[in-house]
Structure formats: structure tokens, C-alpha cells
Amino acid sequence: MSSLMEAFNAKALDLGVPLSAHLDVTYRCNERCVHCYLDHDDHGEMTFAEIKDVLDQLADAGVFFLTLSGGEVLMRMDFMDILKYARRLRFAVKVKTNGFMIRDKHAALFHRLGVQTVQISIYSHRPEVHDAITKLPGSLKRSIAAIRLLKSHGVAVIIANVLMRPNFNDYTSVKELGKSLGVPVVTDPTITPKMDGDRSLLGLGIHGPQLGAAFHDTELVGNVDEFCAVPSPADESVLDGIACSAGHTYCYISPYGDVYPCVQFPMPCGNVRSQKFLDIWRNSAQMNEVRSIRTRDLPTCSACTHAGTCTRCPGLAFMEGNMRGPSSLDCEKSFARTGIPSANMINRQSLPVAVAIAGSARGSVSGLVQISAARN
């Protein structure tokens, strides 16, 4: 992050400004990805008028960065009107889409409106793998065509590659595909439970030797010696720090108007159909509870050697049963990186399994690509 952006974020945090917001305009989708955490039925999504009102409120609250996503955004016939209105309010807009429905008119308008980036998910370079994940025949071909079309109009595109068991062997080729298309690829091994708490999707995630191999691959993590460095005890700045931007400078709004700290933190804090956004942001008991938590308040994690380097997600911890507790998925990631078990793993007496994974991780190929959050 640049020093300017760091200062920007620090000022927003100090003033309690929601600098960034993620708005899902619909949960409807033409794909049925095997790992998707959403219910794709329409239970009464906000109208265009309601979304305009929400965007007005977000602008008044100080939101600058806006992500528009779904579902598939173009399942809404009025999505381009939503996008036009968002840009009229001067939001810096990112769009997440599967690209299947993008045509020349969409690409041209994305460029004319100055959309910051368009993110498109590619799960494999092989149609038989990608299309099996999306359950939509021809989806890989259409998504790649969309990337080329957007690029031809001068639109910045990012490929999101969610890493899981069905496509684990293809991430290197997806990166090569990205290079051939002239777009960056971000890879993320995080599979999350469904919004309703159903954890069955976690079986699709990579674990053990696979996760260890990925975290020691230079094609994914960069400098392995730095990325996998032995963790050091948390200092006071870490203990007094916040877990992430969720509820501090960032929030998520569902197609039904529900406000959450983050798209990965499904704790309802209010609804913009019955409350003003700023009232929810400033006065929600749930949001303020999230804001009150510091690393030193976490019974297990505050005493863990990984506290200063862990990617612990409070939303994943919440879905596991306690937002002040560990996120087992992140504990596993920390262990896969370093071979050192977390306090949570030791407490749960999973050390023998951990040691077995560590041995596999240390024996994997050394090397380095950025692993970044890339949901959708």
C-alpha cells in the first residue's frame, strides 16, 4: 500500500469514516459455482430507487471506494443505470462479474464511466474444469472473451482464481493465461461457509500437504523466506491493533439492504430499508462491538506466537462460533506457512496432524505469486 493510501486509511479510521463499501446488487446468478456461499433465489432485492437512495447515503457518509458485485451483476436489467448513478456520485467503482453476459456496449460504457477495475473469476485454463465448477457450459470461453473485449476498450481487468481441490493443479496455467491476456491474477485458497452458516463447502478447500505446497510455491507467495518466516511474539502495537478494516473503514450491504461488517462477516447490524445507513454505521450495537475488539482481547490468539503475522479473519471466526476466538482456517494457513502450530492447534490437541503437514510443506518446492482475497 502506498504511503498516501496508508495516510488516507489512517485518517478514515481516526474519523470513523466508512471509506469503502461493498454492495451486492443481486444474489441471482447464471452460474452455480460449487463453492459459492450465496442463496441465488431472489427474496425481494432492493429496487433501483432504493439502491439510488443507499448510494446517496453512502456518499454522504464519506464512502469513496465502492465495489458492485453479486451474484452476477448483469442479471439485473438496470445494472448499468446503477453503475452510471454510482459514478455520478464520484465513487471509485470496482465491478465483480463472471463476464458471461458482457458485450461490446457494456465494455464501452465501463470505459466511458471510468470503472476502476473489473474482476472476473477464472478457475482453470481447461474448459472441462472451469465449466464443471461454474456448472455453466461454455463459461470459460465467454469469460475469456469478456476479458479480451474489456481490454480492447481500455478497461483494467483482474482475474480472480479461487484455489480449491477441483482446480488445484491448474493455478500455474491460470497465471500463464493471465500473462497472455495482459491481466494480473490473484489467487486465494479461502473457501468460506455459506451465509446461513452451512459449513459443508469447506470440504472443497485445500488442506494439509496441498496447502503447504501452495504456500511454499514462489508462483503464489513471492519470497518464500519472508512469507514463511518464523513468527515473533506480538508486541504492544500488535496487541492494541485491530484485526482488519471490517466495521472500521469498510462494510457490506446485501441486495436486501442488510448491513454487515464485511461480506465475510455475516453478522446483521441493521437494514437500510428501515434505518439510515449512518445510524447503523455509528450506533449499531453489533458494529460497535466489532470495533471494540483488539488483539489483546482475544483469549487464545493474543497469546499465540502467530498473532503478529496471522491473517485471522474475525468473520470466519464468527462463523465458527465466536468472533473473539480463532479462525481455524487461518490457523491452518499460518501453520502451512511456517510449520509452527498455533496456540489454537495446540489447545485442540491437533499437534500430531500439524507436524505431519509441516513435514510435507518443508519438502515442497521452494519458490513465489501473491495470494490475495478474491471472492466471487
pLDDT of the residue at 204: 93
Angle, CA 248 vertex, CA 246 and CA 250 arms, to 5°: 55
**Which amino acid, one-letter code, is at 128?**
E
What does residue 115 show for φ and ψ, rounded to 5 degrees? Answer: -60, 135
| C-alpha grid cell, residue 94 | 470496482
> For residue range 190-234, what is the model confidence (pLDDT) as tens digits?
999 988 888 899 999 999 899 988 888 888 888 887 788 888 777
Average pLDDT, the chain: 89
Environment class of 168 (CB within 10 Å of its CB; exposed 0-12, middle 13-18, buried 19+): middle
In angstroms, rounded to a whole number, what is the distance separating the alpha carbons of residues 31 and 71? Answer: 9
| C-alpha grid cell, residue 25 | 446488487
Would you place residue 1 in the very low, low, confident or very high pLDDT band (cuts 50, 70, 90)? low
Q: What is the pTM of this model?
A: 0.89
Would you place residue 9 in the very low, low, confident or very high pLDDT band (cuts 50, 70, 90)? confident
> For residue range 286-321, what is the model confidence (pLDDT) as tens digits?
999 999 999 999 999 988 888 888 888 999 999 999
Q: Where are the extended beta strands (E) located within 70-209?
A: 92-97, 117-121, 157-162, 185-188
> For residue range 157-194, what is the model confidence (pLDDT) as tens digits?
999 999 999 999 999 999 999 999 999 999 999 999 98
> For residue range 135-147, what is the model confidence (pLDDT) as tens digits?
999 999 999 999 9
In angstroms, rounded to a whole number, what is the distance separating the alpha carbons of residues 303 and 344? Answer: 10
> For residue range 51-106, what is the model confidence (pLDDT) as tens digits?
999 999 999 999 999 999 999 999 999 999 999 999 999 999 999 999 999 999 99
Residue of 152, 148, 153 whose CA lies nearest to 180: 148
